[in-house]
Amino acid sequence: MAKIYTRTGDKGETSLYTGQRVRKNDPTIEAIGTVDETNSAIGLALAMMPREANFSTIREQLETIQHALFDVGAAIATPRTKAATGKLEKTRFDEEATHHLEKWMDSFEDNLAPLKSFILPGGQSAGAMLHLARSICRRAERLILPLNMQADVSDSVLAYLNRLSDYLFMVSRVVNHMMGSSETLWEHHKGLT
């Protein structure tokens, strides 16, 4: 890899994979940055998670997701209305990753109590960080929606982020359950009377 600094962004611009130069606050760059934030929050959750064998499957899933989020970033950085076919093919993001998330969530359902109320984000540090990753992922989804509506980002990217936020919610519950943390149910107007 080349040096980490290139000096090409010193004036507030960066390049998309198409070669197009855009401002660093361009909606595409905002979306890529928020996907990166999601990935970083997942990384922090992994750092907080016990290294015991019973967490190995969840660790593997989260690391797979981290790799997929780099692929999501590449797909966003290659606007479909402006990119050459070869670049689009190289950064295509398929639905297979979304199917993995669904399969993993289906496997969690047997181990979780059904929800009858909203729960407050929290619990053990790893579980709480996964809740934070979920909320960042939802922001990424909101930022990508306009790009999808302009046909610059594929439906499969949007669907993946939607399903990923669901997965992160479920896995936060699983991790908290495995670490012996009970869930705090939301109470309407608690403390306001």
Could you report the per-residue pLDDT of 10-56, keeping only the tens digit for each?
A: 567 766 667 677 777 788 889 999 999 999 999 999 999 999 999 99
| pLDDT computed for residue 5 by the predictor | 57
- In the chain, the N- to C-terminal Cα span, in Å, equals 60
- Percent of residues, the chain, with pLDDT higher than 90: 59
**Yes or no: is domain 20-110+118-178 CATH 3.40.50.2020?**
no
| pLDDT computed for residue 77 by the predictor | 87
| pLDDT computed for residue 9 by the predictor | 53
| pLDDT computed for residue 81 by the predictor | 83
| pLDDT computed for residue 134 by the predictor | 98
| pLDDT computed for residue 174 by the predictor | 94
pLDDT digits (tens, 9 = 90+) for 45-66: 999 999 999 999 999 999 999 9
In which residue are the tokens 């594929």 written? 154
| pLDDT computed for residue 157 by the predictor | 95
Q: List the chain residues with pLDDT less than 50.
A: none
DSSP per residue, the chain: ---S--STTTTSEEE-TTS-EEETTSHHHHHHHHHHHHHHHHHHHHHHS--SGGGHHHHHHHHHHHHHHHHHHHHHTS-TTTS-HHHHHHT---THHHHHHHHHHHHHGGGSPPPSS-B-S-SSHHHHHHHHHHHHHHHHHHHHHHHHHTTSS-HHHHHHHHHHHHHHHHHHHHHHHHTTPPP-B--TTTT--
User: What does pTM read for this prediction?
Assistant: 0.88
